[in-house]
Amino acid sequence: MTYDWPALVDELSSLLKLRTIPFGMKMFERREDMEAIPKIRRPQSIHTLDQIVGQASRLGWTVGITSDDLVGAQCRAVVGLGNAKTEAWQSGQHMKGVWFSTLEDATAHQSAMHCVPDGKYDALAVAPLSKAQLDPPDIALFYATPGAMIYFINGLQWAGYKRFDWSVVGESACADSWGRALTLRQPSLSIPCFAERRYGGVLDEEMLMATPPEYLVSAITGMKALSKNGFRYPFPQYGVQQDVRAGMAVSYPGRK
């Protein structure tokens, strides 16, 4: 499927009142293919993947990386770069006493993460969706408030309803967002973790949605339908002491 990325981003940003830049992420089997993207930036320092994502979503940069650009195995493992999933990584020993009380707890956390398998990909790139430089990206991502996220989900559920079940691994929440979306090819909502907020510039009120691009189209169609029914974001406050019947009657005619 081909997309009019500037138009798609304009619609998404308008419907959800986004404050940051929707961006894409694409995996590459060959480093050379990533480096062939016009005007791509390559890091001059060692970063977390949260920082690379932040450079796309906060600064509008197109950035490409290999495993050598990332600070450690935890970042590499989620996206399958650099054969990071060693026995030491799987044990979680580096997180014992830091995020988890025992080695058993740390090991359980590592096994709970959604990670791209090692060995297939050599590079990764992120870029604003509107630039269409990764056309098509493997996944699209955007940060938004909880209110905007439930409205986006309502749009996804407008037609072809399905229940969404997401998980929270805690620290390393990128496994809940881009890790899950890349591996399961499903919309994946996450509560960004400490590292994303400390190093990636994620704000206190923000959540992250990562999804294969086609779900953006269906969600936008759904949100437009909801808008015609009077359901729009941001949600207008009705008042905690008002008689609710007048408000409910607007959405549900004949309700008493």
Q: What is the pLDDT of residues 40-87, one digit of tens each?
A: 999 999 999 999 999 999 999 999 999 999 999 999 999 999 999 999
Nearest to residue 48, comparing CAs of 168, 193, 182? 193
* Residues 202, 192 contacting (CB under 8 angstroms): yes
Average per-residue pLDDT in the chain?
96
Task: Report the C-alpha gap between 2 and 245 in whole angstroms.
Answer: 45
Average pLDDT rounded to a whole number, residues 113-134: 98
pLDDT of 250 = 86
Whole-prediction pTM: 0.95
Is there a cis peptide before residue 234, judged by omega within 30 degrees of 0?
A: yes
Tokens of 175: 């496994």
User: Domain range for residue 102?
Assistant: 5-235
pLDDT of 119 = 95
Report yes or no on 227 lying in a domain.
yes
pLDDT reading at 254 higher than 80: no
Report yes or no on 241 lying in a domain.
no
Report the percent of the chain where pLDDT is more than 90.
93
Domain count of the fold of the chain: 1
Report yes or no on 246 lying in a domain.
no
Nearest to residue 126, comparing CAs of 189, 73, 50, 203? 50
Report yes or no on 243 lying in a domain.
no
Which band of pLDDT confidence, cut at 50, 70 and 90, is reported for residue 222? very high
pLDDT reading at 1 higher than 80: no
